[in-house]
Amino acid sequence: MKPIHALLFFLMSTACGNSTPDPGEKHALEGQILEVSQGSLVVDHKEIPGVMRAMAMRLATKDSDNSKFKRGDVISAELVIIPGKSHLRNIKVTGHDELPDLNGEAHPLVVGDLLPSIDLHVAKDEVWRVGPGQDGVVILTFLFTTCPFPDYCPLLATKLAKLQTEIRGQAKIIAVTLDPETDSFEVMETYGKSYGADSSVWRFAREPLEKLEGLFDNLAMLRYKKDDYIIHDLKLVILDEKGTILHIENDNGWDNNRIVAEVQKAQPTNP
């Protein structure tokens, strides 16, 4: 069996009309903007044959003036896929269709939304719930043990190792594997020990990918496999004790002070 490599997405847009050639695979992308924020867009895109199914996903942007985009804009762009770094270029608005208010409508979840509950196995006979009914404040994230790029899953695990000591007694960390075929509970336990994971704070979860599709869609989380590559987003989500989303990070740029501050704000207040 060939080793699995990671192709992790930094989906970065360039200014329209940029003619600088890019290496890597190039794919046409068409979709509609569901959410505009500084540094990222949520796009409901059509299927890219042979690459990914139609889905809504958050696309991080860099050096892009997102103020020119509006919710409801229909766009076309070129998706350039490069190992370790991918991006959108030549983003063009081709139309606009008004969208209903987000309240009550299906959309990728944002801060303030309630994450639908899901039970995640952290061992063959042990389940941790995320969402309504979870045990206290939870930090939810995703990785896999064979990821070879040091700035991605290994960096995330290194940062979580430090973070766990600062949130002990205030929150728990659940890292869901994106490669359940390879990452058995035994493999994940060994991986966790290599980073000093304290099982009372930080656990690794494993579920069939089919069960995780709803979670991926809710969080606009990209994960698919192409040839020998697992392509996925970076995501870290903080949930309060009720399962409400309080904070979302879409890359590894976060620092512990910011996450600890969010965890502290999430602590329940005594009546």
User: How does residue 85 score in pLDDT terms, banded at 50, 70 and 90?
Assistant: low
Q: Measured in whole angstroms, how far is the alpha carbon of residue 67 from the centre of its chain? A: 23
- In the structure, what pLDDT confidence band is assigned to residue 13 with cuts at 50, 70 and 90? very low
Can you read off the two tokens belonging to residue 114?
A: 């309630």
Integer Cα distance of 260 and 238 in angstroms: 10
Residue 102 — very low, low, confident or very high, per pLDDT cuts 50/70/90? low
pLDDT number for residue 7: 36
Which run of H or of E encompasses 249? Answer: strand 245-249
Higher pLDDT, 104 or 199: 199
pLDDT at 86: 64
* CA–CA dist 71, 34 (Å, integer): 5
> In which band, very low, low, confident or very high, does the pLDDT at 43 lie, cut at 50, 70 and 90?
confident
DSSP state of 178: S
- Give dist(CA 32, CA 96) in Å, integer: 8
pTM: 0.70
Select the more confidently predicted residue: 63 or 224. 224
Mean pLDDT confidence for 32-54? 81
Q: What's the mean pLDDT when you consider all of the chain?
A: 83
- The whole-number pLDDT of residue 227 equals 67
8 Å CB contact between 144 and 153: yes
**Interacting residues of 145 by C-beta distance below 8 A, sequence separation 6+:** 153, 177, 179, 182, 183, 187, 188, 191
User: What is the CA 134 to chain-centroid distance, rounded?
Assistant: 20
pLDDT for 104 beyond 90:
no
Answer whether residue 271 shows pLDDT above 60: no
Q: Would you tell me how many other CB atoms lie within 10 Å of the CB of residue 114?
A: 14
